[in-house]
Amino acid sequence: MSAFTTTSAPARGGAADEYEQFCVAFRRVCGIDLLQYKRGQMERRIRSFVATRGGDVDLLAYCAKLTADKDELNRFLDRVTINVSQLWRNPEQWETLEAKILPDLANTAPTHPTRVRCWSAGSSYGAEAYTLAAIARKAIPRAQVTILGTDIDHRMVERARTGVFTAEDARDAPTATLASHFELADGRWHATADLKKIVRFEQGDLLRAQPAAGSYDLVLCRNTVIYFNEDVRDALHGRLAASLRPGGRLVVGATERVSDPAGHGLEPESPFVYRKI
């Protein structure tokens, strides 16, 4: 998962402190608004990283360095962007999707032939989207499945399009399913051409996305909102819910919850699955 936002930060009273000034300056560098994230954990992450780069922890001076040094900018993005992912991450969620959610979506799809439209929101380097593609091939082989993965980091989008994963990425993947949809070469797992046909990736700001109402049957947004401020999180859940057709599902992380499901037209179906009413 990774998801940054480029929405404008809320106005604050009084003069901005050093951290806020840094965030405003950094937004000008690459369009990423760090003020939308929980300040405590993000500021600690940034200051600890800057301290390892040598010299005083002067955030504004460091931002000037980021402007002038692309390699340093990439190193900084690797630090502050949350790109923790793997194939079949949280296996219990994939078991539920394979056994219950995908078959139900295929059976209740309003189109014929059956079409199931999916969105992996904050898809990082594609592990989630390709896992979904693999289990969809197994669970609903006759359905026309399309999967869109979006991420704010263009580097992750480019990596996702390759469909190549390390042995570490595949550590929790079921052996038989992995071997059916990925080919092992040079110590890495490569998504098959058949799998890549149903997955596409685009660069996109998750918190500015405005998908058409009812445009998806399934939206996965897992292990993402825990980094956002509450208002940002709730607004995001509202937009994700609006993008679902009636009967569609929103899947969040195993430890995440939608704070006001009914207010978004959702009803809890399991601890991490919400059904659009």
How far apart CA 201 and CA 164 sit, in angstroms, is 14
Q: Which parts of the chain sit beneath pLDDT 70?
A: 1-15, 55-56, 81-84
How far apart CA 168 and CA 165 sit, in angstroms, is 8
- Based on DSSP, count helices (H) and strands (E) in the chain, helices before strands: 11, 10
* pLDDT for the residue numbered 57: 72
Domains with residue ranges and CATH for the chain = 18-80 (no CATH), 91-276 (3.40.50.150)
- Rounded to whole angstroms, what are the CA distances from 37 to 23, 177, 210? 11, 37, 20
Count CB neighbours of 123 within 10 A. Answer: 32
Q: Do residues 90 and 254 lie in contact, with contact meaning Cβ atoms separated by under 8 Å? A: yes
* pLDDT for the residue numbered 28: 84
Q: Do residues 214 and 244 lie in contact, with contact meaning Cβ atoms separated by under 8 Å? A: yes
How far apart CA 58 and CA 49 sit, in angstroms, is 12
Q: In the chain, at which residue ranges do the beta strands (DSSP E only) sit?
A: 115-121, 144-151, 164-165, 182-185, 188-191, 199-203, 216-221, 244-252, 266-270, 273-276
